[in-house]
Chain A
Amino acid sequence: MGKGDVKLLGLWASPFALRVRFALELKCVDYENLEENFGGGKSELLLKSNPVYKEVPVLLHGDKPICESLIIVQYIDEVWTDGPSILPSDPYDRAIARFWAAYVDDMAYPYMRAIITADGEEAREEAIAKLKESLVVLEDAFVQSSKGKPFFGGDEIGYVDIALGASMEWSKVIEKAFDVKLFDEETTPNLLTWIDAFLAHPAIKDIMPTTDKLFEYAMNFISPPSTKAAATEAY
């Protein structure tokens, strides 16, 4: 299949959609960014392209839809082989990268969602504590994976950088909205440095929403319990 005609169905605020955009940017792939409309209901194209989950992101390559953000990232890595590799080449290193990306999805993201959609202070505190625990584990993973280089992927952004990095502005929104520090010099010093390097990377900085814009957006649904459903939908 040829490499032309690439579309992304996404949402500017979605970390899952951002993962895909970062991968496309890293590979210098031309694509059309189609923004789904939150309030207006899901588009026909989305419902047709992702009938199983009806969610973004969906990558449309020609007429073929690919769903699930990390699956899409791997697809991009395997189709556009001219650009920098997102996954390492050694099978064991690939397994470690896949393990940590799955950890991010299984442990970090659900707690971020839980913090944002929490019903009450106690539930929120518990989710924050769990998230911080998982970030300490990821600090350790970073030290092991990066081997002294700036990224999980080493010299260049890789699979785990994309998986975790896509939620870094959301983590800042959480810190601002709930007056909490998720990362700190004591427990996650290397991740703090990594965040700055990641956000400054050319493939990332022009696409990642600013903290202010994301915060303003989040204020539409954070806190009041009546909009918990909207929060769950949006993140």
Chain B
Amino acid sequence: MAPQGEVKVLGAWPSPFVMRPRIALNLKSVEYEFVEENLGNKSELLLKSNPVYKKIPVLIHGDKPVCESLVIVQYIDEAWKDSTSILPSDPYDRAMARFWAAYVDDKIFPTMRGIVAADEGEAKAAAVALFKEGLSLLEEALVKMSKGKKFFGGDEIGYVDIAFGCYISWFKVTNVISNVNLFDESATPHLVAWIHSFSSHPAVKDVMPETDKLLEFFNNVVLPRMRAAAAAK
């Protein structure tokens, strides 16, 4: 049965997780309304649609809410079957894609935050080293999965591209605030090329936050929050 009803995405522009369903919908050429949430004052619709976590993103299709960004991406892939596929068709390739997407959330995101939170000196160096270890695994995965093409998904953006690529602006912000270079040509050449390809993709470029804007958001909103939390401990 063809998907029924209007599509809304409840989100916030700085959130990497919110980018994921938006990229997926763009890839499928699905029209949707983007509803910007004020996370300091969550809407009734958000609280009603995601009562368990009260978090963004939420996809609302007709009157049905779907929560958790990667669950939403898989839903989009399955509900709009007639367009380009986000997950591969072969079960083993699908398992690999799911594995690396889960790895990104389990390891890459927390270790990136670890760099920002780390004290200068040894602690920061260790945090960067940990992050780069994870990156080298993704470099290998990219080589294996892309089979010489531009993306983890091959010729076209796929599940891992979406799961990982949504963090790119935040990696750039981390480079600036922590004075590091997370992606270097010598260690991760394929990932460096991939960042360019992904960022300029038509389904991505309008939803990826500009680094300057995100940096301002980090300094004005995130950093004070981090400092308050540290002071409270």
**Residues of A at under 8 Å CB distance from B?**
1, 52, 61, 64, 66-68, 71-72, 74-75, 78-79, 91-92, 94-95, 98-99, 102-103, 137
**Residues of B at under 8 Å CB distance from A?**
3, 52, 61, 64, 66-68, 71-72, 74-75, 78-79, 91-92, 94-95, 98-99, 102-103, 137
Can you spell out 12 A-B residue pairs with CB atoms less than 8 angstroms apart? A52-B103, A61-B92, A68-B98, A74-B95, A91-B75, A92-B66, A94-B78, A95-B71, A95-B72, A99-B66, A99-B68, A102-B71
Q: Which listed residue (B64, B95, B98, B99) contacts A92, Cβ 8 A?
A: B64
Q: Is the CB of B92 within 8 A of A64?
A: yes
Supposing A78-B91, A94-B75 touch, asked if A68 and B68 sit within 8 A by C-beta, the answer is no
Supposing A92-B66, A95-B71 touch, asked if A72 and B78 sit within 8 A by C-beta, the answer is no
Residues of B within 8 A of A66 (CB): 92, 95, 99
CA gap between A71 and B137 in the complex, in Å: 19
Residues of A within 8 A of B61 (CB): 92
CA gap between A72 and B67 in the complex, in Å: 22
Residues of B within 8 A of A67 (CB): 99
CA gap between A64 and B72 in the complex, in Å: 28
CA gap between A102 and B91 in the complex, in Å: 20
Q: Is the CB of A91 within 8 A of B71?
A: no
Q: Which listed residue (A71, A94, A99, A102) contacts B95, Cβ 8 A?
A: A71
CA gap between A75 and B92 in the complex, in Å: 7
Nearest Cβ distance between residue A77 and chain B, in whole angstroms?
9
Closest A-B pairs by Cβ, 7 of them: A91-B78, A78-B91, A95-B75, A75-B95, A91-B79, A98-B71, A95-B66
Nearest Cβ distance between residue A8 and chain B, in whole angstroms?
15
Nearest Cβ distance between residue B144 and chain A, in whole angstroms?
13
CA gap between A190 and B137 in the complex, in Å: 44
Nearest Cβ distance between residue A124 and chain B, in whole angstroms?
22
Q: Is the CB of B98 within 8 A of A71?
A: yes
Nearest Cβ distance between residue B31 and chain A, in whole angstroms?
18
- Taking A75-B94, A92-B64, A95-B74 as known contacts, 11 extra A-B pairs with beta carbons closer than 8 A to each other, sorted by chain A number, are A1-B92, A52-B137, A61-B92, A68-B99, A68-B102, A74-B95, A74-B98, A78-B91, A78-B94, A91-B78, A95-B75
CA gap between A102 and B71 in the complex, in Å: 9
Residues of A within 8 A of B72 (CB): 95
Residues of B within 8 A of A74 (CB): 94-95, 98
Residues of A within 8 A of B99 (CB): 66-68, 71
Residues of A within 8 A of B75 (CB): 91-92, 94-95
CA gap between A61 and B95 in the complex, in Å: 12
Supposing A52-B137, A71-B102 touch, asked if A94 and B94 sit within 8 A by C-beta, the answer is no
Nearest Cβ distance between residue A110 and chain B, in whole angstroms?
13
Which partner residue on chain B sits nearest A89 by CB separation? B78
Residues of B within 8 A of A1 (CB): 92
CA gap between A99 and B78 in the complex, in Å: 15
Q: Is the CB of A99 within 8 A of B137?
A: no
CA gap between A20 and B83 in the complex, in Å: 32
Which partner residue on chain B sits nearest A96 by CB separation? B66
Residues of B within 8 A of A71 (CB): 95, 98-99, 102
Supposing A52-B103, A52-B137 touch, asked if A98 and B95 sit within 8 A by C-beta, the answer is no
Residues of B within 8 A of A102 (CB): 68, 71
Residues of B within 8 A of A64 (CB): 92
CA gap between A98 and B70 in the complex, in Å: 9
Nearest Cβ distance between residue A158 and chain B, in whole angstroms?
16
Q: Is the CB of B64 within 8 A of A137?
A: no
Supposing A91-B78, A92-B75 touch, asked if A75 and B137 sit within 8 A by C-beta, the answer is no
Q: Is the CB of B95 within 8 A of A72?
A: yes
Residues of B within 8 A of A91 (CB): 3, 75, 78-79
Residues of B within 8 A of A92 (CB): 61, 64, 66, 75, 79
Residues of B within 8 A of A78 (CB): 91, 94
Residues of A within 8 A of B74 (CB): 94-95, 98
CA gap between A130 and B3 in the complex, in Å: 37
CA gap between A98 and B74 in the complex, in Å: 9
Nearest Cβ distance between residue B202 and chain A, in whole angstroms?
25
CA gap between A94 and B102 in the complex, in Å: 18
